[in-house]
């Protein structure tokens, strides 16, 4: 008989986040017998996470800068309620080295990597240098951070155009500009610098060669500070404004040899920094070659599809590793099973240039059946606050093959009903009726080009939409 999983050092956990990831963390902790304390803003006092947590503590008003991003407020809640550990989720303070240091200095466990690792891999320029030292290929780009446009102009001469300007401390698509010519570089550099300074408090930038037909792949890893394993890759190329819309695992673009090489490169890099916890290494894949671009030192929004194809509960493993326990898995234990797809359901109107749509959930009907999962913060009557990211939920499906997963996702989307607000369900349904998407023929610029026609009502349904069974 399998022995129960017991945490030795974590009995009470502070959840320093909101929305669906807070719900996900609370559920994982409860299954392991851990009490949860939710640090929440005033705007979230009626949230599902507040209802599920053992204790909900208001730490500030609605603006994130005065609540979820306020290290002192979060730490005050942690100390007051004598927690053993803090889970930052994703976004907000999840990749803030200062926050990780504050947690560690208070004698608590930070559920994630060390502050040193966050600082090293969170700085995009340092992460590139680390990858190069570990023998992992990177996208051709500038060496180190750039403070001034003159240095960028010099670096661009070697890189060539088109190129990307990226924030050293970036994330979420902020502080990024695509530049097609030398004449456009000064203005784009200045705009990216202002945005990066505002978003991250750090205006340093770097340059990378832009690959317009590349795929965006990422590898899920787990490490215990001594050993690292991977949980295969995810395909994340369907993006708008560098924000992911739909993801799948594994990538339809890779053969077995390429998949093995990509995943081993990710393990090699994570091993070089003695990584601890769950993390993701992101790559561009172009013309049969892959290039490291950055690392996310946290759990990712799209982690459920990795869980579905491997059967591993990544949140559970994060807590076990943070508790000081070694990895329970050997690489040979991690088997790739079938295919999974995730559709992000956002409170936005895709027909109106993705205009935000906060409001009240008047009615809610969720899909079900084998291989269907719905990670959300929703319930009937919930009032969506206008202060935060627009993502409401993630609809995830798994099946034995990609073709069957596509068919299952079409069926699940058809069952979903969220009344009272505009949201992105219709966008996903249209994408899953597109012949190129169904065939896996897409890249990082595909969606924005496709949207131009769809929003004008010009997108035609592919043969995949003409019969109930899709491509199965």
Please list, residue by residue across 117-137, b when 16 or more beta carbons sit within 10 angstroms of its beta carbon and e when fewer do. Answer: bbbbbbbbbebbebbeeeebe
pLDDT digits (tens, 9 = 90+) for 349-369: 999 999 999 999 999 999 999
Report yes or no on 158 lying in a domain. Answer: yes
CATH of the domain at 359: 3.30.470.20
Report yes or no on 121 lying in a domain. Answer: no
Q: Which residues pair with 348 in a beta bridge?
A: 356
Distance CA 86, CA 108 (A): 7
Q: What is the pLDDT at residue 15?
A: 98
CATH of the domain at 23: 3.40.50.20
pLDDT digits (tens, 9 = 90+) for 242-271: 899 999 999 999 999 999 999 999 999 999
Same domain, 163 and 308: no
Distance CA 305, CA 301 (A): 10
Q: What is the pLDDT at residue 147?
A: 85
Same domain, 346 and 379: yes
Helices assigned H by DSSP within 160-313:
185-200, 256-272, 303-310
Same domain, 318 and 237: yes
Same domain, 368 and 391: yes
The pTM assigned to this predicted structure is 0.89
Report yes or no on 422 lying in a domain. Answer: yes
Same domain, 79 and 194: no
CATH of the domain at 162: 3.30.1490.20
Q: What is the pLDDT at residue 438?
A: 98
Give the residue numbers marked as catalytic: 298
Same domain, 185 and 76: no
Question: What is the greatest pairwise CA distance in the chain?
Answer: 68
Beta-strand pair 228-240/243-249 = antiparallel
Could you say which of 165, 191, 209 is where a domain stops? 209
Q: Which residue range is the domain that position 179 belongs to?
A: 140-209
Distance CA 312, CA 220 (A): 11
3-class DSSP state of 167: strand
Residues (pLDDT < 50) of the chain are 1, 459-472
Same domain, 200 and 256: no
Residue 318, phi then psi, degrees to nearest 5:
-60, -45
Cβ contacts of residue 269 below 8 Å, gap of 6+?
130, 131, 134, 136, 281, 292, 295
> What tokens were used for 73?
């407020």
270 within 8 A of 305, measured Cβ to Cβ: no
Q: What single-letter DSSP state applies at residue 327?
A: P
Report yes or no on 410 lying in a domain. Answer: yes
Same domain, 197 and 257: no
Same domain, 65 and 147: no
Distance CA 154, CA 142 (A): 9
Please compute, for residue 396, the number of CA atoms within 13 A of its CA located in the half-sphere on the CB side: 20
The sign of the torsion formed by the CA atoms of 269, 273, 277, 283 equals negative
Report yes or no on 374 lying in a domain. Answer: yes
Report yes or no on 1 lying in a domain. Answer: no
Distance CA 104, CA 114 (A): 9
Could you say which of 182, 209, 236 is where a domain stops? 209
Q: What is the pLDDT at residue 456?
A: 75
Q: How many domains does the structure of the chain reveal?
A: 3
Same domain, 351 and 459: yes
Order the strands of the 289-296 sheet from edge to edge.
289-296, 276-286, 215-224, 228-240, 243-249, 339-346, 391-399, 372-376
Same domain, 190 and 250: no
Same domain, 424 and 457: yes
């Amino acid at each position: 008989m399998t022995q129960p999983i017991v945490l030795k050092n974590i009995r009470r956990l502070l959840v320093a986040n909101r929305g669906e990831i807070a719900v996900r963390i609370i559920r994982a902790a409860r299954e392991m017998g851990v009490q949860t304390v939710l640090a929440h803003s005033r705007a979230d006092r009626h949230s599902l996470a507040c209802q599920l947590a053992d204790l909900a503590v208001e730490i500030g008003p609605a603006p994130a800068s005065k609540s979820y991003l306020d290290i002192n407020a979060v730490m005050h809640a942690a100390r007051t309620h004598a927690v053993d550990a803090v889970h930052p989720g994703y976004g907000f303070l999840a990749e803030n080295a200062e926050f990780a240091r504050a947690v560690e200095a208070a004698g608590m466990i930070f559920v994630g990597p060390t502050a040193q690792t966050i600082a090293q891999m969170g700085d995009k320029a340092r992460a590139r240098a680390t990858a190069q030292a570990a023998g992992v290929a990177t996208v051709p780009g500038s060496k180190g951070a750039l403070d001034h446009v003159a240095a960028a102009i010099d670096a661009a001469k070697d890189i060539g155009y088109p190129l990307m300007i990226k924030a050293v401390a970036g994330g979420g698509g902020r502080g990024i500009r695509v530049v097609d010519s030398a004449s456009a570089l000064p203005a784009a550099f200045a705009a990216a610098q202002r945005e990066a300074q505002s978003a991250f408090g750090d205006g340093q930038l770097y340059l990378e060669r832009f690959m317009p037909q590349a795929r965006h792949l990422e590898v899920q890893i787990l490490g215990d500070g001594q050993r690292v394993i991977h949980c295969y890759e995810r395909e994340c190329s369907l993006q708008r404004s560098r924000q992911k819309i739909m993801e799948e695992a594994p990538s339809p673009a890779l053969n077995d040899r390429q998949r093995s090489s990509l995943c081993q490169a990710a393990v090699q890099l994570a091993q070089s920094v003695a990584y601890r916890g769950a993390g993701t290494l992101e790559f561009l894949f172009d013309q049969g070659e892959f290039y490291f671009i950055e690392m996310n030192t946290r759990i990712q929004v799209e982690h459920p599809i990795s869980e579905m194809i491997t059967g591993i509960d990544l949140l559970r493993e994060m807590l076990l590793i943070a508790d000081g326990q070694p990895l329970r898995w050997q690489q040979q234990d991690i088997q790739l099973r079938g295919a999974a797809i995730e559709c992000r359901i956002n409170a936005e109107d895709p027909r109106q240039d993705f205009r935000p749509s906060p409001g009240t959930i008047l009615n809610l009907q969720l899909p079900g059946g084998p291989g269907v999962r719905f990670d959300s913060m929703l319930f009937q009557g919930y009032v969506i606050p206008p202060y935060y990211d627009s993502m409401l939920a993630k609809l995830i499906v798994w099946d034995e093959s990609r073709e069957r997963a596509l068919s299952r996702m079409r069926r699940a989307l058809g069952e979903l009903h969220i009344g009272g607000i505009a949201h992105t369900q219709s966008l996903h349904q249209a994408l899953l009726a597109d012949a190129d998407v169904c065939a896996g023929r897409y890249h990082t610029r595909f969606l924005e080009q496709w949207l131009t026609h769809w929003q004008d009502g010009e997108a035609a349904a592919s043969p995949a939409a003409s019969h109930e069974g899709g491509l199965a």
